[in-house]
């Protein structure tokens, strides 16, 4: 399942979420729907597959920067 990175245009909150089919993505902070999907190079690097924990953020500083 793809994990996309979004930025909320309403509050500026940046987050990653797992997007299922036709599921509407809302900001976890303000519940806003004015989101911009960012290109995340963290989830799928293409080089090493499997054994990569996409939920923990891994060693990507961009992904693990949100708190
Ligand atoms: Zn928001």
CATH number of the domain to which 25 belongs: 2.20.28
Quick check: pTM over 0.85? no
Residue 6: exposure state from Cβ atoms within 10 A (0-12, 13-18, ≥19): buried
Question: Domain residues for 10?
Answer: 1-45+53-67
Ligand 1 centroid from CA 60, angstroms: 23
Ligand 1 centroid from CA 35, angstroms: 8
Closest CA to 43 of 30, 26, 62: 62
Ligand 1 centroid from CA 64, angstroms: 18
- pLDDT of res. 7: 96
Ligand 1 centroid from CA 58, angstroms: 24
Closest CA to 45 of 59, 56, 65: 59
- pLDDT of res. 13: 97
Which residues, given as ranges, of the chain have pLDDT below 70?
40-67
Cα 25 from chain centroid? 11
- pLDDT of res. 28: 95
Closest CA to 35 of 12, 62, 63: 12
Domain count, the chain: 1
């Amino acid at each position: 399942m793809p994990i996309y990175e979004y930025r909320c245009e309403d509050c500026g909150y940046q987050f990653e979420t797992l997007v299922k089919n036709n599921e509407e993505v809302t900001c976890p902070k303000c519940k806003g729907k004015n989101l911009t999907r960012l290109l995340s190079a963290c989830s799928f690097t293409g080089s090493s597959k499997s054994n990569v924990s996409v939920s923990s953020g891994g060693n990507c500083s961009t992904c693990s920067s949100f708190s």
